[in-house]
């Protein structure tokens, strides 16, 4: 019997992967409170999941200004780099590959989470219809202030510095977070971007920040170790666009000019329906992209096998199944039953619901 391609090696850019199963980025809110650094339980959590062909870390803020939730890790300080280095060493010791997802939340934040209690920044001073978590309660996001034109080079430099820090932390590459209503996505979409300068208005202008961020990051890493995640038709965090199909056709055309390791799409609504409106097509965008394509959103075993066999995807990223199944790649290959996740422990807390889910051999012993 032929092994399904999902379980076979794949080369994404410079990344040699032992299978095509990817651990998707999963925010778990367990970084050290005083400095947003990964700690020992992060080391164990990611090492347990090293059987994935590729791990994409939880989103990690590139700067203090890029933070939007309590206890999310950063990649802008020495302590954070040291914390991540322990993680990458452990993953590599188990034969895994791991990339860092680089994050700036833009307007999806609250004054209390920002340096000196300042408003969050965004392309325009338009509040999101979204909530964030400050460590005590869920709060409506604060009304942001619009980034000054003179500030944008500093934001791009923050991405560049974070990319260098990811090198020092021992990662195999990085993924630029351009999805789910955060800063890059906010600049792309006319529902959040009402600027009248070189970063707003036309599609060409609204894609400018994304292009300049990708340029900066690929200058550090080389394009073949950089991926990007986008959510073309998602309204996550209250983000909208009047006509997303031509916008993301242009986005894909721009990305084709870089030769990235992969393009990672959230297909449909983030964590929700895969249905699309009339005129919207993931398949058309995927066909337009010249490189490796990573599919995500609600895939089960058979969907993933079929997507790879038919050429609709090169890689498939699994999110929530990886919370409760550290050995998900092995379970999928063996068609073994999956552990059910405990939703109460998704966000915040300690090792319970984080590093204590059993692997297959442990389940059998029990």
* Closest to 109 measured CA to CA, from 43, 36, 183: 183
Give the whole-angstrom CA distance, residue 308 versus residue 313.
5
Give the whole-angstrom CA distance, residue 323 versus residue 307.
22
CATH topology of domain 5-365: TIM Barrel (3.20.20)
Is residue 317 classed as helix, strand or coil in its secondary structure? strand
Give the whole-angstrom CA distance, residue 46 versus residue 59.
14
Beta strands 60-61 and 54-56, pairing class: unpaired
Question: Are 70 and 135 in contact, with CB atoms under 8 Å apart?
Answer: yes
Give the whole-angstrom CA distance, residue 339 versus residue 274.
24
Would the pTM of this model clear 0.95, i.e. be above it? yes
Question: Where exactly are the structural domains of the chain?
Answer: 5-365
- Residues of the chain short of pLDDT 70, as ranges, are 362-366
- Determine the pLDDT at residue 363: 58
Cα angle vertex 229, ends 227, 235, to 5°? Answer: 170
Contacts of 204 (CB under 8 A, 6+ apart): 250
Question: Are 227 and 262 in contact, with CB atoms under 8 Å apart?
Answer: yes
Paired tokens of 140:
């409506």
Q: In this predicted model, what pLDDT tens digit does every residue of 46-78 receive, in sequence order?
A: 999 999 999 999 999 999 999 999 999 999 999
Q: Is 347 a catalytic residue?
A: no
Among residues 46, 69, 159, 182, the one annotated as catalytic is: 182
Q: In this predicted model, what pLDDT tens digit does every residue of 100-153 receive, in sequence order?
A: 999 999 999 999 999 999 999 999 999 999 999 999 999 999 999 999 999 999
């Amino acid at each position: 019997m032929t092994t399904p391609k999902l379980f076979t090696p794949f080369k994404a850019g410079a990344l040699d992967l032992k299978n095509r199963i990817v651990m998707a980025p999963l925010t778990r809110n367990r970084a050290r409170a005083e400095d947003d650094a990964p700690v020992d339980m992060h080391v164990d959590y990611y090492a347990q999941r090293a059987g994935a062909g590729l791990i994409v870390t939880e989103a990690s803020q590139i700067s203090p200004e890029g933070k939007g939730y309590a206890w999310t890790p950063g990649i802008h300080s020495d302590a954070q780099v040291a914390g991540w280095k322990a993680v990458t060493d452990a993953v590599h010791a188990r034969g895994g590959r791991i990339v860092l997802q680089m994050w700036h939340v833009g307007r999806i934040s609250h004054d209390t989470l920002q340096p000196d209690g300042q408003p969050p920044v965004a392309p325009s001073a338009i509040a999101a219809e979204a909530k964030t978590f400050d460590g005590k309660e869920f709060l409506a996001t604060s009304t942001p202030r619009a980034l000054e034109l003179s500030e944008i080079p500093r934001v791009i430099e923050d991405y560049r510095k974070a990319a260098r820090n990811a090198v020092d932390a021992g990662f195999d590459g990085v993924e630029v977070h351009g999805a789910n209503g955060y800063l890059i996505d906010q600049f792309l979409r006319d529902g959040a971007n009402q600027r009248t300068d070189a970063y707003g208005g036309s599609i060409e202008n609204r894609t400018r920040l994304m292009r300049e961020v990708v340029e900066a990051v690929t200058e550090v890493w080389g394009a073949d170790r950089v991926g990007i995640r986008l959510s073309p038709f998602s309204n996550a965090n209250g983000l909208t666009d009047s006509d997303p199909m031509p916008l993301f056709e242009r986005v894909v055309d721009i990305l084709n000019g870089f030769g990235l390791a992969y393009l990672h799409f959230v297909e449909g609504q983030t964590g929700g329906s895969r249905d699309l409106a009339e005129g919207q097509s993931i398949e058309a965008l995927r066909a337009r992209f010249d490189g490796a394509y990573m599919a995500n959103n609600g895939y089960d075993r058979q969907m993933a096998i079929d997507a790879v066999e038919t050429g609709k995807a090169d890689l498939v990223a699994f999110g929530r199944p990886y919370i409760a199944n550290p050995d998900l790649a092995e379970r999928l290959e063996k068609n073994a039953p999956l552990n059910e996740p405990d939703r109460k422990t998704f966000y915040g807390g300690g090792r319970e619901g984080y590093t204590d889910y059993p692997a297959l051999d442990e389940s059998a012993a029990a």
